[in-house]
Structure 1
């Protein structure tokens, strides 16, 4: 489902103004052409437009269009930024002096724009006279989307503001008293979403949130709290449903022409359609992803986001059963086979996946430029497979949850409960897809370490690494930070007790009287 905003009413772009009353005097008359909450929510068509607008909140700059990848992928040990914009580069190095810096402020603010749209649906759709099944579904979709927004907010900020009503001038929602209160709120939303969502869609509705999506995200929410049994119960439901399977080709998960496939549990839908303004949020504005432009290699994109070289070593730890390199390496990264320190056998034949745009390898592209040739670039979600340049209008959907992630997550939950043999069976399903040999005979401790490797090789660059580091406790003590620092020197700037959370933008702290996160003045 591509969530086109064309013909949606303008109120969905400025929710606060349109839910605020105005003085009734001669100099302040309401615009009769401007819809308000009282005049808009009348029928099932309006309810449908409202939920489409809620989905579009996931396409905002501070969400899956652009900045979320800097928040997660580049602040983890998998990536970094060498952007010529110093503040952006410093953001990924845990150096932030201006709490209102664009990436931080827009991430926080855009998530609340999306939450407010969900809250409007939840507040006004119940009173609409419409088909009951459709109403239940739309309300459940709103709860799922709101939960996904809060999943990001609690993971990045710890204690978000828990807004449950449409925004008005007088509404002052409370800040979560603890991170646990925020997780409890997310769980409640997902339980309600799970109960009201259908198991599947077809036709133009393909891509909307399903029961499986809510169940999987609920499982992952329990995992982040290390509630292994509760998480396992949810993830087992997704697996036993029989609705999902691994795509035959790993790379199909990062192409615009293989979207919403059998492996997809939930995707943020993007298209290459655009208006004259690529950033604004209004009816008819761009619904394209900008990740490819910001992560594209030199001359093809901005290269504001790069990958750490240790990822190559991780992929090269073992060969396939036929003696070849793990095919996920070439699907994940652009790199030179002749780069300094590259440990792989130079006699290994070059295959098509070593080539990038214009059917050139990095050695060919940067034949006289050793600096660029030795950098490591992200290939996931780039458009090199069908065109030779990047831009602001990538149509590639972002796969928020894939079935392989469900399998690996369930394996982790089972292993933590002592069911190590059962856990290995699930991991082996993921490994077989890319031709790796089955695991066997590992202890619980050894499999815990192995899972850290498996999640990197399967999910690198997909926004989950930061969550993994949090769950494994590596962000909570200096020993963990020293381990990360050995792979990513940016962690030299990480301060235990402060850097785990981003600071709440100062504007919001000052205006709303919010408690700032620890260590941030």
Structure 2
């Protein structure tokens, strides 16, 4: 499995300089005779290029440009900060009770304080990263129509393979548009049918964007491979089912119309698809999580490789940034910590300390309460992400800079907890199954049956807390809190929410991020979200 992952993503890196969102007639405008940069038509006429081109789309979730540094896709920000998972993680976790950061990098602390503005450079970078990923997917789809494949004389077998690649591209585009829906609400909708010349896209409503993502996923499922039929970590039907289940689970937030019955339909498809809970929680987040058995729990993951997909974002960020104080970097397979992110007492207090294997708090020299946000030792550290394998060996990058650990976007434990929540929200299923799925997750966490819950303990508040225990620092928390009406306002308060030590209510308009001011200036068709 490891070799498949490496070869797949090495292919992407080889073609990073060949394939770009613009994909003009000759990509090297300054040197049309360049031997290293090929025209789009030449690239797409080569049947062997297609697997590399679709690999580039997957690499868009992991890499930041055409090199580790110095050739960034996104400008006007530190290249590592523009990486897809890192930017998405900041917006999903730093804004909640699960994470706080002490760095003085521009406006980074505003995330936890919930005081961000439309000029925030981190919000701008993530907005642009999502847009860049969509454009890359659009270009691949534009270049692989039936008409163009026929014109290039591609054989029927090759065209059949390309249909699968097109389905993967549509899935990846739907994923980014789903992130747009969740983070920003309504944005411009651009597809492969949009003009290729410069134009200003019209903004569509959140409902329209929701409808587009739903329709794309339903159509894409026909051409995606069966679960487990292609190499990890490519998307198959299970990934599409899980993404669609999340779209429906949050439909009431996005559109005002609950779709819990539909969410249950696709959650059950995932649960019945043959995935399995790994027997060791800690191993889900180690450097060999693509081959130690954890991958059997992963429904969709972003692959990272310390040699072939080097970045200062992704799990490199998630492994380095939480290490500081008295923590030993060697235990994490890295050359040093960045002393940045910790957690708050609100998360710590949800655990039965010393019994739940998921807690993974580092407390030596750390205080539970946070008096000084800038001090790394204020707040417990979390040792969840590591660049070592099950034997304790460090990752492949000998410098200790870059990390091999893959990032699971979706995994089976999440689907189990979704089933339970959907049942409680009236979306179908049975209480017996819901309790069984929750208790399977807890049995792994406690390594016994003594902490199983019964119907008396089974309610939505319990599910929200259990999701925090199981899925913390996996970029789910903000979406979860919004769905439970606890992200903004005063119903749920945590330390330093609202930039107050003990926490304070925040206005509800912050359930959505602002459209970046740079994007508004560049496209007068866009309208700012209320409150900004």
| Smaller-chain TM-score bracket | 0.7 to 0.9
Matched, 1:42 2:45: yes
8 A contact 1:73–1:79 mirrored in 2: yes
Q: 1:210 aligns with which of 233, 236, 259?
A: 236
Q: Secondary structure at the match of 2:269?
A: helix
Q: Determine the C-alpha separation between the residues in 2 that align with 1:465 and 1:440.
A: 25
Q: 2:24 aligns with which of 15, 19, 23?
A: 19
Q: Secondary structure at the match of 2:358?
A: helix
Matched, 1:403 2:415: no
1:343-375: CA deviation from partner (whole Å, max 9, x where unpaired): xxxxxxxxxxxxxxxxxxxxxxxxxxxx75553
Q: Secondary structure at the match of 1:209?
A: coil
Matched, 1:78 2:98: yes
| Partner residue, 1:329 | 359
Cα displacement (A) at 1:83? 0.9
| Structure 2 CA distance for partners of 1:278 and 1:254, relative to 1, 3 Å | closer
8 A contact 1:198–1:211 mirrored in 2: yes
8 A contact 1:93–1:493 mirrored in 2: no
Matched, 1:181 2:219: no
| Partner residue, 1:442 | 456
Matched, 1:224 2:233: no
1:150-172: CA deviation from partner (whole Å, max 9, x where unpaired): 12121111112211127734233
| Partner residue, 1:240 | 272
| Partner residue, 1:321 | none
Cα displacement (A) at 1:493? 7.1
Unaligned runs of 5+ in 1: 23-27, 280-285, 318-323, 343-370
Q: Determine the C-alpha separation between the residues in 2 that align with 1:501 and 1:372.
A: 29
Q: Determine the C-alpha separation between the residues in 1 that align with 2:399 and 2:468.
A: 26
| Partner residue, 1:115 | 134
| Partner residue, 1:191 | 218
| Structure 2 CA distance for partners of 1:249 and 1:43, relative to 1, 3 Å | same
Unaligned runs of 5+ in 2: 65-79, 252-257, 328-335
| Partner residue, 1:292 | 319
Cα displacement (A) at 1:390? 9.6
| Structure 2 CA distance for partners of 1:29 and 1:149, relative to 1, 3 Å | closer
- Greater fraction of residues in helix: 1
Q: Which residues in structure 2 correspond to 1:21-420 (within 5 Å)?
A: 31-33=32-34, 34-59=37-62, 60=64, 61=80, 62-97=82-117, 99-126=118-145, 127-128=148-149, 129-130=154-155, 131=157, 132-165=159-192, 168-177=196-205, 179-201=206-228, 205-225=231-251, 226-241=258-273, 243-259=274-290, 261-273=295-307, 289-298=316-325, 300-316=336-352, 325-330=355-360, 333-336=361-364, 339=367, 375-383=379-387, 385-387=392-394, 392-417=401-426, 419-420=430-431
Q: 1:7 aligns with which of 6, 14, 21?
A: 14
Q: Determine the C-alpha separation between the residues in 2 that align with 1:457 and 1:390.
A: 33
1:30-89: CA deviation from partner (whole Å, max 9, x where unpaired): 724343434432243232222111111111453444222211111122111111224212
1:458-502: CA deviation from partner (whole Å, max 9, x where unpaired): 1111100111012112246x343xx13468454857642431222
Matched, 1:511 2:522: yes
Matched, 1:471 2:483: yes
TM-score w.r.t. length of structure 2 = 0.79
Cα displacement (A) at 1:430? 0.9
| Structure 2 CA distance for partners of 1:64 and 1:438, relative to 1, 3 Å | same
Q: Secondary structure at the match of 1:261?
A: helix
8 A contact 1:141–1:209 mirrored in 2: yes
Cα displacement (A) at 1:107? 0.4
| Structure 2 CA distance for partners of 1:413 and 1:65, relative to 1, 3 Å | closer
